[in-house]
Homo-oligomer: A and B are copies of this chain.
């Protein structure tokens, strides 16, 4: 079938204007689309989802502090006033560079003059894809709701269970990987058990839940400074999290985690470790790095393809001998840069090299505690936490979201109340899933 996605042309741009296709509406893709606001181009942005997701707060959906719609906005809504952009809901399955087209599911095709690939990354289980069922990761709204469901169901199952050993397993939560997501998850899970649920049960004491954070590197937050690591470690221990660094996981199943020296029996395991680039990269037939990312030039184009740009977590880019990190700030800078280079190209100018400017990294460790690296200064504790709140509120898209997220955070902070403690979907199979562990 020929494409039905060739978009109606925008009168202000004209029919002969080049067609820029952006695949992925994450931080990178959206920044690129906005960067093309005044370009003499028609832009089509394609995403599998109808919404842009503010991923840094996704763990708060998983831990019942926020609703999905607090941190997500319809892509159409964000770009509604930019008349040279069309939004299409669809999944890109491959790129045909020679024919200059993107192939979508359902055999539709999308012809392009310029292409920006920004499909990001997903979890990597280091070759153990069978671990995924037992230890879901956290990339999409659905992932977050699934983790929330498992956490809440675990307490319900513990309350129902009469065998103390099994009850103990239900009350053990293991997080694999102590990057920002793992640290934030561990802190939030500790707070839920210590503060939020304390009065809600009759037979179990939620505050006795065991939260274990496992990291293969020698310290938590390995990408941050040693000071920040040490601060985060101290704050985690104060919250009652068991931190195990220098510990590689060797096995995961529905009932626990194995590492080199022992086994931890746990019915809830959350994966916050490896990252792998989106599989779309492979369809390019171009050199990939070990994580499956596409090697790009300093102007963000694909080797030999001056009209094809790769940005965000999908791109493998070196700067001063170090890889540009897979963070939102880098993806946004790259998106804006790719847009600028497309404008240059349309005008027949030469492309500019990209330079990542590191504005600092930050992570939160539960209520009123966070760590921030600005390079020249390291902050921790309450000051860092207030800055963390401010930065996240500032970057949330939409005034409505900012109001609602602030309201929800006030509740979490003042009342120890997490508003989104709903279990949706089936409950019983999840409880039963644990029951049959002895057979495995």
Contact = CB atoms under 8 A, between A and B. Distances in A.
Interface stretch (A1-9, A122-130, A271-279, A294-302): A1-9
State the oligomeric state as a number of copies.
2
A216 interface: no
Contact of A69 (B80, B153, B203, B419): B419
A41 to B, nearest CB: 15
A246 interface: no
A202 B42 CA distance: 12
A295 to B, nearest CB: 31
Nearest to A105: B428
Interface in A374-400: 400
A101 interface: no
Contacts of A214: none
A425 interface: yes
Interface stretch (A87-95, A262-270, A338-346): A87-95
Interface stretch (A45-53, A111-119, A220-228): A45-53
A145 interface: yes
Interface stretch (A154-162, A237-245, A305-313): A154-162
A4 B160 contact: yes
A63 interface: no
A428 B160 CA distance: 39
- Size band of the interface chain A makes with B: 35 or more
A411 B81 CA distance: 19
Contacts of A74: 200, 421-422
Nearest to A200: B76
A88 B421 contact: no
Contact of A419 (B86, B162, B404, B423): B404
A17 interface: no
Contacts of A401: 419
A284 interface: no
A121 B81 CA distance: 45
A420 B160 contact: no
A425 B143 CA distance: 10
A432 to B, nearest CB: 7
A354 to B, nearest CB: 31
A77 B421 contact: yes
A218 interface: no
A219 to B, nearest CB: 36
A105 B426 CA distance: 13
25 contacts: A4-B160, A49-B423, A50-B152, A50-B427, A67-B420, A68-B422, A68-B424, A69-B419, A69-B420, A69-B421, A69-B422, A77-B421, A80-B199, A80-B200, A87-B200, A87-B202, A88-B160, A89-B153, A89-B156, A89-B423, A105-B428, A106-B431, A108-B160, A400-B411, A403-B407
